[in-house]
Chains A and B, each alone.
Chain A
Amino acid sequence: MPDDLARSLAVTEMDDGLAFSGEIDCDSVRVLGPMLDPLPGDAAEVRLDLAAVTFIDSSGLRLLIQAHQRAETSGRSLVLERPSPSVARLLDISGLRDHLIIRDDFVDG
């Protein structure tokens, strides 16, 4: 994890993806953006574990949508795993559950 990453967010590399812990806001998005562009790994399915995300705002949501688009464009898929209540709430409010790939059940890869 870069040293200058926002204090409130931690990123852990995992198989075919990343696990976020903390808050995804406009500050952390500035650092997270390059980590998701290009998408990590070369697997067909890129996983983002959001179980430990305590807060996400509209800029974080925008980051996820852009990563989703990038995956579709490159023939891959972005899976949002185990969205935390905060993430799930924002996904519900924004009506994105039908437009993003969300997996509530965690499968250890």
Chain B
Amino acid sequence: MARSSHTFGLRHRLASAAATFVTLLMVGAVLSIVMINGWSSALERRRTSRAALVEINALQTGYGEQGSGVQGFVLTADRRYLDTFDEGIRRVGSAYQSLSRMTMPGERFDRSIETLRAAGDEWLIAALRPLVASTQAGELPSSEVIEAGRLRYEVLRHQLDSTRSQLDAAVQHAESRSHRFEQLAVTALLFAFGSGLVFAVVILVLIRRWMLDPLRELTIATVAVAHGEPTAIPRPLAEELSIVADAVDFLQRSKSEERDNALRAMQGLEQTAILALRVRSELANEIGTPPPGWDAHCSLRSAEGVVAGDCIDTGLLDSSTMFVVVLDVTGHGATAALHALRAKSLARMGLKSGLQPGEAIELVSRHQRADEHSQYLTAFVALVDLVNGVCRYANAGHPPALLVGPDSTTALSATGPLVGPFDASWRTESVQIALGETLLVHSDGLTEVRGPADDWFGEDRLRSALQALVGADAATIVARLEETVRAHRVGPQSDDVTLLVLQRQGSAAVLNVLPPDPAHETRLRQVDEQRDRKG
């Protein structure tokens, strides 16, 4: 699925947002650093200026001590005043040393200090020391010397005041500057913090808009798809999530297609099941109400599913003739069932058109041989005169039908080969079904049943079981035979099992068996379940 061209990768979006965030933080940090440095520089200048002021005051004190010491010594000749003079010299020297170690706020301060120092030195050398020397020599200083000293002191004091004033102004300026930088630094910090906070909120909002909301919508859509509910798949702007949306959309379309296929398959199965049940019904059409004086019952149990390769067809050709067709197509399952149905229809058509049983089988054989895909089959076809009990039959390789009377059992064996790739004919033979006698037509699935001792149920057991049921009605005979065979069987049913019992009722019947057991199906199931558990 083509994605819209205006989608941008989530990585690019997040990277852009992160870059902007970092840039803002860096700008804020740089501004803060610059402001803090300016603030620090202003504070340092203020501190230096204040320290310089202290030293200027010390100079003033020192120069004052020098002057008062010389003045006292000149007036009193007391040498102790010279100590004050010397103290003043040391104080002044110490102050200048301190000032020389300071970084003065500007060259003009350095020049001012130098000027001050020069004035002080000149006052000391040109005024004070000569006064001391003349006094020590016992001479009175001349008025010129005193005036010259006073003038030099005035220059010195003026320079001191000037320097102090400059330093005071520098202190004021530094304080003003530090206050301004302080405000700027705080503003820069607040800007950095505030912009970071705002941008973090913006990032969270964008993450929610770009990722969380689309993911939530995709999750809701995915859950809906999982539950098979049609839903519109959201189209996120982010490329990565758009890929996920494409996948969910593909999943929805796949599930929809699978659901449609499953629905069609289910409908197909339903149709197949209906068809199978119809085929099943056609394979073993129920024997309706037997004609007066006759009893009939049949059963067909397929080895696979509900359709079989066996087939039973009975009905009335006219008011006094009943036809019987029992077929067994090689194999079992749906394919065999379809072949059986076709063969049954051909046999019935032949009989209804007046053919004898053997001729009806020939009709089936001709059509079978014309079809290269046809399968082999065995058949027992009979026409029974319901008035006199005469049974005309043909057996195409089918297991012998058994005509069972109170004292004997007659096998109605093959009157021709099985219907296959042979050019053959089938004889139609006759037998009399006497009053009380029972005709059993079955497929080989009834006798080819392996028992627990690896023995086959076989025809002998079938004859014995049938003899023991003489006198029972047709439904009972079918039910008991099935029950007996199932009890013998080990493992699952491997072949279709077909039984048809046609009984001519009459006085010869001897009721020496139990009446039909309505619970025989339950017992059959129990026998099957026990065998399955053992198996």
Contact at B378–A26, with CB atoms within 8 Å? no
Contacts known (A65-B420, A65-B421); A94 close to B378, Cβ less than 8 A? yes
Q: Shortest CB–CB separation between residue A94 and chain B, in angstroms?
A: 3
Q: Shortest CB–CB separation between residue B456 and chain A, in angstroms?
A: 7
Contact at A94–B418, with CB atoms within 8 Å? yes
Query: What DSSP secondary structure best describes chain A's contact surface?
Result: helix
B397 within 8 A of A: yes
Closest to B443 in A: A58
CA distance A65 to B331 in the complex (A): 14
A98 within 8 A of B: yes
Flag B412-456 by CB within 8 Å of A: 1 or 0 each: 011111101110100000000000000000001000100000001
Contacts known (A65-B376, A99-B422); A93 close to B399, Cβ less than 8 A? yes
A35 within 8 A of B: no
Which residues of B sit under 8 angstroms from A26, Cβ to Cβ? Answer: 494
Contact at B421–A94, with CB atoms within 8 Å? no
Which residues of A sit under 8 angstroms from B330, Cβ to Cβ? Answer: 58-59, 61-62
Contacts known (A57-B444, A69-B421); A95 close to B397, Cβ less than 8 A? yes
Contact at B417–A96, with CB atoms within 8 Å? yes
Flag B212-253 by CB within 8 Å of A: 1 or 0 each: 000000000000000000000000000000000000000000
Interface residues on A, range: 10 to 19
B400 within 8 A of A: yes
Contact at B495–A99, with CB atoms within 8 Å? no
CA distance A72 to B376 in the complex (A): 18
Give the most central of A57, A69, A99: most B CB within 10 Å.
Answer: A99
CA distance A26 to B336 in the complex (A): 15
CA distance A55 to B449 in the complex (A): 11
Which residues of A sit under 8 angstroms from B415, Cβ to Cβ? Answer: 95
Closest 9 pairs between A and B when the two form their complex, measured CB to CB: A94-B397, A95-B417, A95-B414, A94-B418, A99-B422, A95-B397, A62-B330, A96-B417, A95-B416
Question: 30 A-B pairs, CB-CB below 8 angstroms?
Answer: A55-B456, A57-B444, A57-B495, A58-B328, A58-B330, A58-B378, A59-B331, A61-B330, A62-B330, A65-B376, A65-B420, A69-B421, A92-B413, A92-B414, A93-B397, A93-B399, A93-B413, A93-B414, A94-B378, A94-B414, A95-B396, A95-B397, A95-B414, A95-B415, A95-B416, A95-B424, A96-B397, A96-B417, A98-B424, A99-B424
